[in-house]
Structure 1
Amino acid sequence: MSEGSPYPLPSHFAREQAVLIEAGIQSWPAIAALSDRELDQLSRRGGALERQLRKLRGQAQLVVELDLEPYQAALLLYAGIASRQGLAAASPQQLLTQLGRLERSLTGMAPARITPALIRTWIKRAQAASRSTK
């Protein structure tokens, strides 16, 4: 997993990255810990969109809470899985189908990095994390 610096972020997060760096927020755990109020304050600093900051926080929470790589968390977000609870309740086969389509649309015919075993591992981690916080 990549708990250290999340930078560089994809180019469509350039404004958000600049605001986060200026605020001294330079790790996935630090982004994951941001409150709604802090996101609002950061978005008012100039240029960062709150919607984009919320996406980054969601990605960071998946990275930190479930020990995922940033690209894995981003794929889950784009597939509609925005929390460990959502992942814990996901159907492995449906998620594999969704992520496979998404990954192929992004990478073309490159070999898939998301496997059924990997998805089952993620779901088990999410279920365990959800049980431990109840």
Structure 2
Amino acid sequence: MKRLTVRLPEDVYNALASLSIRRKESIAVTIRRLLSQAISEEAAVDGKDVITDAVRRAMRDVLKPTEDRLAKLASKAARMAATATYLNTQVIGDLGRRDVLQIYNEARKRAAAYLREQDDEA
């Protein structure tokens, strides 16, 4: 064992002495035990941080292709929806309706209301 000399504030020394008496062990044994516990806990926290970072990196690597695919699908769906909107408006106009813009605006309002509704199936 190595010898170490440490100066402690009086209140810390008194608390240490009181703890030693309650545990029926010497102050040196109490100090060694507390230091070992603190070092173990600190190492566990450091290890936890390393593990957490590794898990996050692994999850990001696994989920990234799925996220990319979902983003591409959402973009494709948005383009298709815009195309369908344009075509529907064009067809309504080609059928001779003069209130195409009014029909379009009403459809947008109803679509927005539909999207705000709670999904009962969820």
Choose between structure 1 and 2 for higher RCO, CA contacts under 8 A separated by at least 6 residues: 1
Scaled by the length of structure 2, the TM-score of the pair is: 0.25
Larger gyration radius, structure 1 or structure 2? 2
Q: TM-score, normalised by structure 1?
A: 0.23
